[in-house]
Every structure is written in C-alpha cells, then in structure tokens.
C-alpha cells in the first residue's frame, strides 16, 4: 500500500486515513503534494495563536485557518475532514500529551479552530530534485530537531523557543539550498543559521531534542531551518486546557502541489 | 516642512503627526521607509478580520498586529502610538464613516486590536528607482482604484470585492514591474491582472471608484494590483459596530525600510 500511496494524490492519502487503512507516518506519500502540520485550539485561544503565527511566519507559515467548528480545510483541501484525515493525532490537556488517537471525532467541539501549517517536506523534495542531499532521508531516520536560545515573538498567551531542524551540507550545497528554500516562504523558507551550533544555544549536535541524530561528514556544516515543531513547544509552554495536533511525522496531506508554495 | 520630512526617518513623521504639525497626506514623506494602512477593531471582531487577512494576503499583507488595548506597533515601529502618530483617521460606526479626526485618543478602548497592513507606496518607490513610470505620481493625483467582480475569500463576518489600483504601462514595462513587485509580497506583490478591464468587472476605466483617473497612452495597457482599500470595503460590508482606519493617503510611517519587505 505504501508504494501505491507514494504516487497517489493527497486526497487518496486522506481517504486511506479516513477509512483506517493508513495509521503510519506520511513521508514519501503523495509525492509532490504539500504535507502540513496541524494545530487545533478552542476559539478562546485561537486569536492568540493566530497572532503567534502571524508574528513568527518562518516556524509557523499558515496555509489555512478554519472557521470555528468547521472540520474542513476548505482552502487547501476541499472535502477534507480534519477529524479523520490524518493517520494519527495528539491530544493535549493543560500542556500535557494525554493520548495519541487515530481519529478525533470523539473530541470534536463546535468551538475548535484548526491551523494548517507548512512543513519542511516541501522544500526537501525540491532539494532532492536539485541534487542537494538530505541526510536523514538517506539514513532513513527522523530529521534531528533542536530547541534554540532564539525566542519567538510572543503572541497573546503563546511564547517559546524557536525549534530548528538540521541538515548537514557543504558550503556550496548550503548556498544552493538557500536559493531553493527562499522560493518557499510558506514551507519555512531560507535557513536561519549555519555552522556553529552553540551560537543558537544548541549544546550537543548529536543529541537532538526531537528526532534522531545524523552524520555530519568532512567538509560539511550543520544548516538549520525554522521547524514546525515550534508551535508544539509553544503549546506546551502556554498550557491551554485543550488542544489537538498531528503526531509528528503523521502529517495532513493537502491538495496543494509543492510548486503552489513557490514565491508569493 | 514637507521637504524636510521627505528625507526624514519614519519616526520623525510619526512625531510630526503626534505634535499636530502634520495633518496632511504622506506620499513622498520619509522616502525609503515603509508606509502602511491601518485597521483597528474591537477584539470581538479581530479574530474574524485576522482570518480575512490571512486568507487574502495580496490585498491585506499583515505587517503587524497588536495585542488588545496596546496602542504601540511594537514590531514595526517601537515607541509608536497608533492613537496619535497618523496625520488623519476615519471613525466607522456600523459600516458608516462618521468622522475624520487627527487623533483617536478620545476613542481608544482597552479591547482595540490594530492591524498594520502593507501599502503600494513601497513597490512604487522600487518601480521609480528602476525607471518604470508611475502615472498618478507624474500627474500628481491619487492612484485610481476600482472595485472588481473578484470576491475575496470570506473570513468570519468579513467578505467583499477585491479592490485594485491601476497603473498604465507598456507591455515591456509591465513585465519589469511584475519582476520588481514579485519581490514585495508584503506590499501587494505582483499584479493581479492587466489589459481588458471588463474581465475583472471594471466597467469604465476613466471613472474609478476611489482616487482619480489617469491617462493611458498609446501602446500602454492598464495593469492592476491588489489594493489596501480592500479591507475598508470589507468593513463597510460587515458593518462592525465600531472601527477605525487611516484616512486614505494619510498612512502610518513604520521604522521598516522598503528593502526589509523584499523576499521572505
């Protein structure tokens, strides 16, 4: 099934989630379609979170925001149902992870607002297509992610550190990657840092805070991008009474093509 | 005073407004500094308007959104006071324009949220610097603006037509303008249409809905950009009980440089 879904459209992956056929991670599925992070909050918290995203567009590039109670991501995936169309979710209560269900229909409320947020898979596809290596894909592990000492701009009750992902590249590849990723401001855009990890508060590059360490080879420098885990870190800090997110790596497949996120 | 302020920083124009020295329009002032549209709404309406802007980034590119009750545009103009730092404002009640004061201190409330929105002056400076003519500046009139038959994506209680501004250019200049404006997605970005005005519902090019008509010369076509008057049209349609905007042409001067709005 995995291989069928790799060349399927985004809607086919959503259908596979909805029918319970797919409960695993989504990297490599529906290649060329935009995958997205998901954050769901009660309306009472939604304005603050929308402010937080507006002020921190690199880690939190908004692709779609729903009306309160509407489970359909009308703009990026008409006909979708955000309650069933992801392979796995996380339920948060007071900033604590309490459950990881495959369906959130039982948790749905009329006041929930969903935020669909761009994801690095989009620019990784573009990097690979341009011959720039992506080490964690080569090594078949999750991308290494680090909490930095760079503070996000607070938005209402939300604040927290910028979380970054890291890919080792040669300087020449890093320049190429910067050019390519600059084309995708709604998929985290250009890197935020390269080289000395301690300059952004990363103590030990082989001990990521999320994901798994990857090999940095001779002649390569670590290159850091703003990461979609940043809003989850802000959620843990703000401790809203109730929130839902995707389970990391288990993303929402949209109808957008990667190329739709280029430029404006 | 006009000529002094034309080469002054944004903060000097804000100070001139605050002290009552400047009550006139701002085009040509603090050249190189980003000028912005302003919309102020009660918190109860702010989430809907933030949704509307998020869904319609070409007419409503957000540069800053304040916390409820905070009159300072902390991100784009630290130390500013949005109640006094514009030359003139418009007070709206139930979608009707009721007053045009030079100061809104008397109207301020603890629940007001301010939206600072990018403006075409930014890309006009870039066009002029590149030798692309801007007819309404040559003719010393307000840019002609038209309501189109293109509907904005609704956001909560806000909806309405896309309003566009028009500048006549030769095809060659239009290509150059498209390249230049694509660099400024937070100042309305690339044009939305050129040529046949009736295709976007503009009945009579010499009778703009806002601003003044300009001459289109032999070999030129009308080129249309998303316009910052769009949110005012949405306000008039949604009829919130209370709202404040800038008076057209009387913009908010930020500390941002035009070049800060390039790219991401």
SS3 label, residue B35: strand
CATH classification number, A121-230, choose in 3.40.50.1100, 3.40.640.10, 3.30.2040.10, 3.30.70.360: 3.30.2040.10
Res B27: pLDDT: 87
Residues of A in contact with B192 (CB under 8 A): none
A198-241 pLDDT, tens per residue? Answer: 999 999 999 999 999 999 999 999 999 999 999 999 999 999 99
CA distance A156 to B71: 15
Under CATH, domain A2-119+243-261 is a member of which superfamily? PSTPO5379-like (3.40.1640.10)
Whether B242 contacts B42, CB under 8 Å = yes
Res B3: pLDDT: 63
Whether A83 contacts A114, CB under 8 Å = no
Nearest by CB to A156, from B57, B67, B263: name it.
B67
Rg of the Cα atoms in chain A: 17
Q: Where are the beta strands (DSSP E) in chain B?
A: 33-42, 62-65, 89-93, 96-99, 112-118, 145-151, 161-169, 193-194, 221-226, 243-246, 252-257
Res A27: pLDDT: 87
Nearest by CB to A264, from B75, B156, B182: name it.
B182
CA distance B5 to B28: 9
Q: How many helices and strands, by DSSP H and E, does chain A display?
A: 7, 11
Q: Where do we find the tokens 């909560």?
A: B156
Nearest by CB to B189, from A62, A190, A264: name it.
A264
Residue B230: name the closest of B177, B165, B167, B156 by CA: B165
Res B262: pLDDT: 83
Q: What is the mean pLDDT of residues B219-226?
A: 96
Res A249: pLDDT: 87
Instruction: Mark the ranges of chain A whose per-residue pLDDT is less than 70.
Output: 1-3, 263-264
Domain ranges of chain A: 2-119+243-261, 121-230
Q: Which residues are CB-neighbours of B11 under 8 A, at least 6 positions away?
A: B77, B79, B80, B253, B255
CA distance B103 to B100: 9
Smallest CA–CA distance, residue A201 to chain B, in Å, is 24
CA distance A209 to A197: 13
A29 has a chain B CB within 8 A of its CB: no
> What is chain B's length?
264
Q: What is the mean pLDDT of residues B29-42?
A: 95
Helix intervals (H) in A19-134: 43-55, 121-129
Res B135: pLDDT: 95
CA distance A131 to A71: 38
Residues of A in contact with B226 (CB under 8 A): none
**B1 pLDDT higher than 70:** no
SS3 label, residue B124: helix
B116 has a chain A CB within 8 A of its CB: no
A183 has a chain B CB within 8 A of its CB: no
CB pairs under 8 A between A and B: 46
Contact B47 A43 (CB under 8 A): yes
Count CB neighbours of B227 within 10 A: 28
Nearest by CB to B75, from A62, A153, A185: name it.
A153
- Edge-first strand listing for the sheet containing A221-226: A145-151, A161-169, A221-226, A193-194
Res A61: pLDDT: 96
Q: Provide DSSP, A135-149.
A: HHHHTTSPPPEEEEE
CA distance A46 to B54: 13
Q: Where do we find the tokens 């979608």?
A: B95
Residue B40: strand pairing partners: B114, B244
Nearest by CB to A54, from B55, B65, B153: name it.
B65
Q: Which residues are CB-neighbours of A199 under 8 A, at least 6 positions away?
A: A193
Residues of A in contact with B58 (CB under 8 A): 264
Residues of A in contact with B47 (CB under 8 A): 43, 46-47, 50
Helix intervals (H) in chain A: 2-6, 10-18, 43-55, 121-129, 135-138, 171-182, 230-238
CA distance A263 to B184: 10
Residues of A in contact with B62 (CB under 8 A): 54
A105-123 pLDDT, tens per residue? Answer: 999 999 999 999 999 988 9
Question: What's the mean per-residue pLDDT of chain B?
Answer: 94
Residue B220: name the closest of B176, B168, B178 by CA: B168
Mutate to test the interface with A, among B42, B43, B45, B47 (most CBs of A within 10 A): B47
Element (H, E) at A74: none
Res B2: pLDDT: 52
Smallest CA–CA distance, residue A138 to chain B, in Å, is 29
Res A2: pLDDT: 52
**B263 pLDDT higher than 80:** no
SS3 label, residue A125: helix
**Tokens standing for residue A72:** 């359909």
**B59 pLDDT higher than 80:** yes
Nearest by CB to A75, from B50, B55, B156: name it.
B55
Q: What is the mean pLDDT of residues B69-94?
A: 97
B42 has a chain A CB within 8 A of its CB: no
CA torsion sign for A193, A196, A200, A206 is positive
**Tokens standing for residue A171:** 């300087």
């Amino acid at each position: 099934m995995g291989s069928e879904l790799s060349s399927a459209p985004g809607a086919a992956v959503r259908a596979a989630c909805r029918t319970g056929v797919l409960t695993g991670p989504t990297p490599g599925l529906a290649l060329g379609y935009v995958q997205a992070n998901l954050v769901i909050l009660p309306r009472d918290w939604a304005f603050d979170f929308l402010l937080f995203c507006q002020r921190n567009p690199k880690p939190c590039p908004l692709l779609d925001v729903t009306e309160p109670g509407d489970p359909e991501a009308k703009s990026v995936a008409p006909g979708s149902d955000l309650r069933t169309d992801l392979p796995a979710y996380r339920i948060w209560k007071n900033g604590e992870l309490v459950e990881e269900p495959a369906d959130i229909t039982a948790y749905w409320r009329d006041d929930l607002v969903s935020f669909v947020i761009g994801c690095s898979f989009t620019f990784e596809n573009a990097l690979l297509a341009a011959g720039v290596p992506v080490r964690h894909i080569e090594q078949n592990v999750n991308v290494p992610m680090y909490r930095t000492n760079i503070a996000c701009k607070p938005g209402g009750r939300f604040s927290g550190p910028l979380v970054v992902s890291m890919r080792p590249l040669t300087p020449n590849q890093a320049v190429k990657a910067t050019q390519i990723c600059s084309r995708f401001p709604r998929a985290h855009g250009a890197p935020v840092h390269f080289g000395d990890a301690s300059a952004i508060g990363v103590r030990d590059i082989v001990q990521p805070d999320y994901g798994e360490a990857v090999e940095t080879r001779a002649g390569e420098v670590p290159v850091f991008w703003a990461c979609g885990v940043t809003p989850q870190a802000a959620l843990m800090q703000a401790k809203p009474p109730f929130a839902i997110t995707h389970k990391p790596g288990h993303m929402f497949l949209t109808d957008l093509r990667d190329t739709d996120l280029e430029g404006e």
